[in-house]
Amino acid sequence: MNLITLKSPYLIFLGDVTELTYAKTGAGLAQWRPELCAGQLTLAGGSVDLGLPPMTIEEAANAGVGSLIIGTATVGGVVPTSWLDTLVQAAEAGLDIVSGAHGRLQEIPHLAAAAKRSGAKLVDVRVPPAALPVGSGKRRTGKRLLTVGTDCAVGKKYTALALHAAMKQRGMDADFRASGQTGIMISGRGIPMDSVVSDFLSGAAELLSPENTPEHWDVIEGQGAITHPAYGAVSMGLLMGSQPDAFVVCHEAGRTHIAGWPEVPLAGIAQIIQRIVSIGELTNPGIRCVGVSVNTSGLRSAEREEYLRQLERELRLPCVDPLVDGVEPILEQLTAEVAPAAEMA
C-alpha cells in the first residue's frame, strides 16, 4: 500500500521546549497511542513531560525502538541546530527519524549521511507518497465514516480518534485513517491530503480507506471544510474518494467566521450536512449524517447543555462535546442507522 508508514515503537523527542502547546504532536501520541510510545527524550533546558519513561538514544536502540518522532513544533519549520547531534546519533543507531516540519530532513546533510550509513529512513510526514493513483470512483466493501468540519481546527481529528477508540471498546473491527501530519504520526500511517497534487486527490483518498471486510469500519480524519474558500477542494477530494457511509460534522461553538478569513461567514451546520450529502451521494448514495461533535469550551457551562440540546432539536441528530460527553450517542446513532447490531456479531 502506498501510504506513509512509520516503524514502531517510538521514542518521542521533545527537544528543549518548555511549553506543552509546542509539543502537541508528542502529547497526541502519548494520549492516543501510549502502547506505541517506548519513551521520551528531552534535551537540556527542556521541561515538557509527557509522562513517558525517559530514554537515551542508546537505550532506545537497545530496546528495539523503530523511530524517533520529533514531537514538537519548530520555529519556522526548521530543525534547530541544537537538536542535530541527537538526531544524527539516532539515525546512526538505525532509528528512523520522523518529522512533520516544512523543512525536509533529507536536506540536512549530516542527517542524510548518517541515515545513509545505517539504513535508517528519514520520514517527512508532509510529503505524500509517490505514484498515487487517479480516483476510480468504484465502490469498495467495508464501511466508512468521515469527520467533516464547518472550518479548520474544529476537532475533526480528535472526533475521529475518539470514535475509533469507542468502536474498539465495543469490540468493533475498526481503523483510524489519518489524512494530516499529526494524524499520521498518531496512526503510524496515512497520507497528508493537503500536499497531494490535485489530480490525485480522490485517488489518494481511495487508497487511504481500501477495500475491507463488510463489517469493518474505517474512521477517516477529515480536512478543511467543504465551504472553505482556500481548502474546500481538499475536503471535496477526500469526501469523494472516501465514499463514506456516515459522517459527523465537527464545529466550534461561537465561531462565526472562517478562522483567518474574517470576511467569510461560517456556513451553518445544516447547510454543511446538505452539501456533504449532495456531493457524497455521487460515490455513495447511502451517505448520511450520524451526529455533530462540538467544541463547547468557549461557552459557560450553564450555556453548554442548552446549546447542544437546541442543536439536537434543530438537526434531530445526537450533538455532543466529545471531551465532555464522549461520543457514545453518535455511535448509538451509527449502529442503529448504518450497521444494525445483527450485522456486527
264 binds its own copies (CB under 8 A): yes
231 binds its own copies (CB under 8 A): yes
Element (H, E) at 291: strand 288-295
Q: At residue 251, what is the residue type?
A: H
Tell me the closest approach of the beta carbon of residue 7 to its own copies, in angstroms. Answer: 27
Based on CB atoms, which residue is closest to its own copies, 236 or 338?
Answer: 236
Of these, 199, 211, 332, 343, which contacts its own copies (CB under 8 A)?
199
Tell me the closest approach of the beta carbon of residue 195 to its own copies, in angstroms. Answer: 6
153 binds its own copies (CB under 8 A): no
194 binds its own copies (CB under 8 A): yes
Residue pair 17/45 in contact (Cβ under 8 Å)? The answer is: no
Residues 101-140, interacting with its own copies (CB under 8 A)? 134-138
Q: What is the DSSP string of 35-91?
A: GGEEEEEE-TT-----SSPB--HHHHHHTT--EEEE-S--GGG---HHHHHHHHHHH
Cis-peptide into 329, omega within 30 deg? no
Of these, 201, 208, 249, 319, which contacts its own copies (CB under 8 A)?
201
25 binds its own copies (CB under 8 A): no
Of these, 25, 181, 187, 202, which contacts its own copies (CB under 8 A)?
202
288 alpha carbon, distance to own chain's centre: 21
Kindly indicate which of the ranges 72-80, 152-160, 201-209, 214-222 contains the residues binding its own copies, using the contact rule CB under 8 A: 201-209
Based on CB atoms, which residue is closest to its own copies, 249 or 320?
Answer: 249
Tell me how many residues contact its own copies (CB under 8 A): 34
Give the dihedral of Cα atoms 146, 331, 184, 244; nearest 10 deg.
-20
229 binds its own copies (CB under 8 A): yes
CA distance 143 to 162: 17
Of these, 84, 113, 230, 336, which contacts its own copies (CB under 8 A)?
230
Based on CB atoms, which residue is closest to its own copies, 12 or 208?
Answer: 208
Tell me the closest approach of the beta carbon of residue 289 to its own copies, in angstroms. Answer: 18
Tell me the closest approach of the beta carbon of residue 276 to its own copies, in angstroms. Answer: 12
Classify strands 246-252 and 217-220 as parallel, antiparallel or unpaired: unpaired
81 binds its own copies (CB under 8 A): no
Kindly indicate which of the ranges 24-32, 61-69, 166-174, 233-241 contains the residues binding its own copies, using the contact rule CB under 8 A: 233-241
286 binds its own copies (CB under 8 A): no
Eight-class DSSP state of 257:
B
Q: What angle do CA 287, 293, 294 make, to 5 degrees?
A: 145
Based on CB atoms, which residue is closest to its own copies, 82 or 274?
Answer: 274
193 binds its own copies (CB under 8 A): yes
256 binds its own copies (CB under 8 A): no
Reported for 25-30, long-range contacts at CB under 8 A and 24+ positions apart, including other chains, are 25/69, 25/70, 25/71, 25/72, 25/73, 25/100, 25/181, 25/182, 25/185, 26/50, 26/69, 26/71, 26/72, 27/71, 28/182, 28/185, 28/186, 29/69, 29/71, 29/185, 29/186
Q: Helices 301-315 and 269-280, interaxial angle, to 10°?
A: 40
CA distance 133 to 135: 6
233 binds its own copies (CB under 8 A): yes
Residues at the site binding its own copies, with contacts judged by CB under 8 A: 134-138, 193-199, 201-203, 227, 229-234, 236-237, 240, 258, 261, 263-264, 275, 278-279, 282-283
